[in-house]
A and B are shown apart, each in its own frame.
Chain A
């Protein structure tokens, strides 16, 4: 078992008072599993992702990664864990002023020492560059190596983010709405890419999606969040579009979601 979340609460304290993002959420994920996460915005998907990649601590409850309690880990152990979990974010999570190659190389930070990092600013090691170039070729960005990340289109940025995660070589890949801003053709190509990558290293794949078609089409297991808790956890084969629509009831976004 890669993940075991046991009655997890997460509350944010803000000026407007306390908001509850997760409300006693429990979930387990097996190694090598493919999992789609659906739910309206505000259902707690992003918070859940941040718990899964250990950049957030739960207010209450336990998160186990590889049978170890994340809450008890030291900073060093946390870093080691984060290295094993790769995250593909939505857009804008690339360093805008760095080149495509540099951004891809950033995936390797977790295993580099500070000195290596410093050196890579001027002249990265040949082996690393070759590796990064290989992954960039895989995502179809080989011809854009020297361009600044902020000059890329949305789809290219998304693929660069995937290349960065490949460079990181994680055991688990989390992807938060990786296709939200892409047109249907591109969305399919990114989804295929994620699956290829996951196949390659028997990686666990957790993807948050707005698009029900994609969720049903690509993932054997679908988990639905509502109000910060799991409201649906089923095999995709046993689900219909109509059953899933429940999560988007009274929400126009559902009707507007592009259906491919």
Chain B
């Protein structure tokens, strides 16, 4: 007896185990029956995840109808957790940013499916205060700079890439802060906590439109060339038929039809196109160069 346990604890553990067995049996059965036909999706939020989840019902309904599978949608807020979830078969199809897709494909070999047409022609905007003397990337030397989340394509990877390309002082990049999100970057600049920052053009548009960002508090001084960003990708080993029907369902959405329009609006999209891995080669190289991908 190397590990004497106090009796009450033993009793408790026994009780716990028994209860656990009962519960897991019932729970296990449910999961077992459903697992063949469940399609687990995960989508990075563009706004309040709770609100998104509530408002995404038409999308879920549409996908259930089209794929014949029971669709479970989760809206995580942590990019890395999505990558790991896909890697450990917790999620079947995920909406990745370009950079997280590259990470996931390097680590877990995911398959690209579809993306919005605008994802193939995406931009980041660089903003600063109206009164500042920064008018181009070259002027950034000696200024403080903010990226968004370290894992963001449009908030970090590509802005950094273009900054390196145009020879911005390495010190600016080394000392840059990571705000953790596009909104926070915009706010940091408008509150003058940093001199300049880079963020997703869509988020910037939305924040200006919704009045979260006073139009006269920031100004765009640089817009990056186009790059590939968000896409839907399937985990390795997912039934190709299921992946196909998911991709097909999104591809055939037509903005001119009222029903389809509702679904497209949830996804902030107008049209879906096929996504392919070679499009991400440049991004991959950028990540490697910056030491962000091994």
Kindly supply a per-residue 1/0 record for chain B positions 41-61, scoring 1 wherever the CB is within 8 Å of any chain A CB and 0 otherwise. Answer: 000000000000000000000
> In the complex, which range does the number of interface residues on chain B fall in?
under 10
B1 cross-chain contacts in A, Cβ below 8 A: 114
A114 cross-chain contacts in B, Cβ below 8 A: 1, 4
* 7 chain-A/chain-B pairs, Cβ below 8 angstroms: A114-B1, A114-B4, A118-B7, A118-B10, A121-B7, A121-B8, A122-B7
CA–CA, A223 and B91, complex, Å: 82
CA–CA, A121 and B8, complex, Å: 9
CA–CA, A114 and B8, complex, Å: 14
| Closest B residue by C-beta to A122 | B7
Q: Which residues of A contact B (CB under 8 A)?
A: 114, 118, 121-122
7 smallest CB-CB distances across A and B, nearest first, come from A121-B7, A118-B7, A114-B1, A118-B10, A122-B7, A114-B4, A121-B8
B8 cross-chain contacts in A, Cβ below 8 A: 121
Kindly supply a per-residue 1/0 record for chain B positions 1-12, scoring 1 wherever the CB is within 8 Å of any chain A CB and 0 otherwise. Answer: 100100110100
Interface residues of B in 46-101 (CB under 8 A from A): none
A118 cross-chain contacts in B, Cβ below 8 A: 7, 10
| Closest B residue by C-beta to A114 | B1
CA–CA, A122 and B8, complex, Å: 9
B10 cross-chain contacts in A, Cβ below 8 A: 118
| Closest B residue by C-beta to A120 | B7
B4 cross-chain contacts in A, Cβ below 8 A: 114
| Closest B residue by C-beta to A113 | B1
| Closest A residue by C-beta to B1 | A114
CA–CA, A114 and B4, complex, Å: 9
CA–CA, A114 and B1, complex, Å: 9
A104: shortest Cβ distance to chain B, in Å? 19
Kindly supply a per-residue 1/0 record for chain B positions 199-224, scoring 1 wherever the CB is within 8 Å of any chain A CB and 0 otherwise. Answer: 00000000000000000000000000
Of A114, A118, A122, the most chain B CB neighbours within 10 A belong to A118
A78: shortest Cβ distance to chain B, in Å? 15
CA–CA, A118 and B7, complex, Å: 6
A79: shortest Cβ distance to chain B, in Å? 12
B166: shortest Cβ distance to chain A, in Å? 70
Kindly supply a per-residue 1/0 record for chain B positions 150-164, scoring 1 wherever the CB is within 8 Å of any chain A CB and 0 otherwise. Answer: 000000000000000
B210: shortest Cβ distance to chain A, in Å? 65
CA–CA, A114 and B7, complex, Å: 10
A234: shortest Cβ distance to chain B, in Å? 46
CA–CA, A92 and B7, complex, Å: 24
A121 cross-chain contacts in B, Cβ below 8 A: 7-8
A97: shortest Cβ distance to chain B, in Å? 13
B7 cross-chain contacts in A, Cβ below 8 A: 118, 121-122
CA–CA, A118 and B12, complex, Å: 13
CA–CA, A118 and B9, complex, Å: 11
CA–CA, A121 and B10, complex, Å: 12
| Closest A residue by C-beta to B11 | A122
